[in-house]
Amino acid sequence: MPMPPTATPYHPRAHPPEKTAFIMAATGESVSFGTLERRANQGAWLLRAEGIKPGDHIAILMENRREMLEVCFAADRAGLYYTTISTHLNESEIRYILADCDARILIASDRFVPMLERSAKASPLTCKVFGVGEAPGAFSSWSDDVARQDETPIPDEAQGLDMLYSSGTTGRPKGIKWPLEPALPGRRTMLVDLLTTLFGYGPETRYLCPAPLYHAAPLRHTMVTLKMGGTAVIMDRFEAETSLKLIEQHRVTHSQWVPTMFVRLLKLPQEVRDSYDLSSMQMAVHAAAPCPVDVKRQILDWWGDIVHEYYAGTENNGFTAINSAEWRAHPGSVGAAKLGVIHICDATGRELAPGSEGEVYFENGQQFTYHKDPEKTAACTNAEGWTTLGDIGRLDGDGYLYLTDRKSFVIISGGVNIYPQETEDTLLGHPSVLDAAVIGIPDEDFGEAVHAVVQLMPGHQATDALREELLAHCRANLSAIKCPRSIEFRQELPRSATGKLYKRKLRAEFWD
């Protein structure tokens, strides 16, 4: 594992002003540390001019573009909470987050201005809106107003924090709030220390971000890269071959992925995979969901022992990590604890012995609350004060964690608990399958029946013969109770841009 850099992270002003801070891959637009510093200062001045004080809250709604990071750095030095909103949410969901997080200002790209204008006409928004880009519409122009501001630091700089919302895969998104401590920006925070120690972000880092910056991991890893003086390459959207091309073009050293991205990379023709020089890669980290064992093995065979995995939530109540050598010794594990102490508990809260499956709790992790929702905060905390994200797993004798599935995704069929992740991994191992989701659907005899929803590889036809072939594939690799009783084919599965599966939406089709 790379050793952490010794340099202390500061503002972009601590790094050579002419050095490239980040590159927008789709357009080739490049922003230096000097330019990022000036624009972040101007953004902080504008926020102060709007009456935004330390501890206040702003929201950001935009696709991956340069202004996204500039606004985040402005808030990060103005002592603010900032919420980055998923660009895949609808109007009502966006309004819910704006009201719930108490945003005083929303900074939105011109892509969303027409929708916000329509919404504001129907019912006043709860905050002032700035439009970013060429067409701010009826709103104030962030781009114009920020350009008129002072380029020097504001006099009352303070360390800000993100307050991000869960993806809402199992219900309403929840705002995850950490304490905002009074301190000057640029200090070594828990997150900076953790990520640089584990993954070696530093001045020589060239980091590829293939995912949306509104999501916790891409945003935080990108900002840590920049704070440590590295360079980030930001994709506007993930595309498998394009990501390989960018690694070769920019001599990328670090990158971050989710398992669905690995699946799509591995489905590329061998001649395409072999045509790119990936020798600059020193570290590829993945998270967000457990990775099927066969997929992980194939990535290791292709990329070598540079693959790291971690398990954590936006809450950061705990954190596990595992490197390639450890994973080969503990295949399927998401690692040992690097933040907090892991406990596996049954439904009554009793701690279970190694090897037993139960709910995963962390002790002594980062403290957090769910914004405006003390009931949800209390529901994820047991009598010992340990907290859980609702995942099911087990520990082996060496303290390595293995995830089974989310508690909310368990299928109870005939009184037996079935965790669908293993069935999904088995289906993904079939050469015809690009993506798969397994859910419980109503069944008169057993309460729930195992049902699979499958997205096929391009060029494969959804036929009864293929359905029977997939069922036979499952029967050959799984116990009978875990095999789907039915399979349906769809053009696409409902996933977030970071790869999280919206099973809630699939289940609702059958249960609501």
Per-residue pLDDT of the chain (512 residues; tens, 9 = 90+): 333 344 445 667 889 999 999 999 999 999 999 999 999 999 999 999 999 999 999 999 999 999 999 999 999 999 999 999 989 888 988 999 999 999 999 999 999 999 999 999 999 999 999 999 988 888 999 999 999 999 999 999 999 999 999 765 445 778 999 888 888 887 778 888 889 999 999 999 999 999 999 999 999 999 999 999 999 999 999 999 999 999 999 999 999 998 889 989 998 999 999 999 999 999 999 987 778 889 999 999 999 999 999 999 888 899 999 999 999 999 999 999 999 999 999 988 899 999 999 999 999 988 889 999 898 889 899 999 999 988 889 999 999 999 887 767 778 787 677 878 889 989 999 999 999 999 999 887 777 899 999 999 999 999 999 999 999 999 998 888 889 999 999 999 988 766 778 888 888 899 86
Please tell me whether residue 226 adopts helix, strand or coil conformation: helix
Question: Considering only CA atoms, which of 368, 405, 373 is closest in space to residue 174?
Answer: 373
Dihedral sign, CA of 311, 477, 436, 210? Answer: positive
Encode pLDDT of 21-40 as tens digits: 999 999 999 999 999 999 99
Closest CA to 421 of 443, 393, 401: 393
Q: Which residue has the tokens 């498998």?
A: 240
CA 469/CA 251 separation, integer angstroms: 42
Q: Which two tokens stand for residue 214?
A: 């509104």
Provide CB contacts within 8 A for 186, sequence distance 6+: 8, 9, 10, 11, 14, 159, 227
* C-alpha to C-alpha distances, 355 to 137, 228, 403, 404, 409, nearest whole angstrom: 59, 40, 12, 12, 21
- Domains within the chain, CATH numbers bracketed: 32-188 (3.40.50.980), 331-407 (2.30.38.10), 410-511 (3.30.300.30)
Task: Print the SS3 string covering 177-204.
Answer: ECCCCCCCCCCCCHHHHHHHHHHCCCCC
Tallying the residues shown for the chain, one arrives at 512
Picking from 208, 228, 76, 52, the residue whose alpha carbon sits closest to that of residue 153 is 76
Q: Kindly state the DSSP code that residue 219 receives in the 8-state scheme.
A: H
Rg, C-alpha atoms of the chain: 23
Q: Is the pTM here over 0.85, yes or no?
A: no
pLDDT in tens, 222-255: 999 999 999 999 999 999 999 999 999 999 999 9
Q: And the tokens for 183?
A: 């301190």
- Measured between alpha carbons, how far is 335 from 183 in angstroms, rounded to an integer? 33
